[in-house]
Amino acid sequence: MARLSKMAGALKASEFKHALANFPRLSEKAQKVARAVLVDGETFEQVCEDYDTSRQLAHQWATKVYEAFRPEGWVTEAVTLPPEQMALVRQMEIDARQKWADELPPARVIRR
């Protein structure tokens, strides 16, 4: 059986749509592939077969949209800091995203 990615089923349809707004030029195929993984919870193997694409491209598209996702209530700001302080802020974001991901309900397993 194929292993599910941590991204599988990680977003609601509304969250996906919001994240996708950051990529107006993303092809329709790329959008469908990313949605199949991120919203529908399909495995990369299944998505690659269904959409006749490589695993590398499917992963790249899903990752691009997933990383643009901003949980509800979070804000985005541009700041200028010394390198050592920026490293701390980046680590804080990584930690916050991990905490958010850990609190998600478990991904659905789709068996075919």
Give the residue among 38, 46, 37 at the shortest CA–CA distance from 14: 38
Indicate the pTM of the whole model: 0.68
Give CA separation, 88 vs 75, 82, 85, 92, in Å.
Answer: 17, 10, 5, 6
Give me 75's structure tokens: 């804000």
- The fraction of the chain above a pLDDT of 70, given in percent, is 88
Per-residue pLDDT of 1-17, as tens digits, reads 556 677 888 888 988 99
Torsion, CA 1, CA 59, CA 25, CA 104, rounded to 10: 70
Domains of the chain (ranges, CATH numbers): 13-102 (1.10.10.2690)
Per-residue H/E/C for the chain: CCCCCCCCCCCCHHHHHHHHCCCCCCCHHHHHHHHHHHCCCCCHHHHHHHHCCCHHHHHHHHHHHHHHCCCCCCCCCCCCCCHHHHHHHHHHHHHHHHHHHHCCCCCCCCCC
Average per-residue pLDDT in the chain?
86
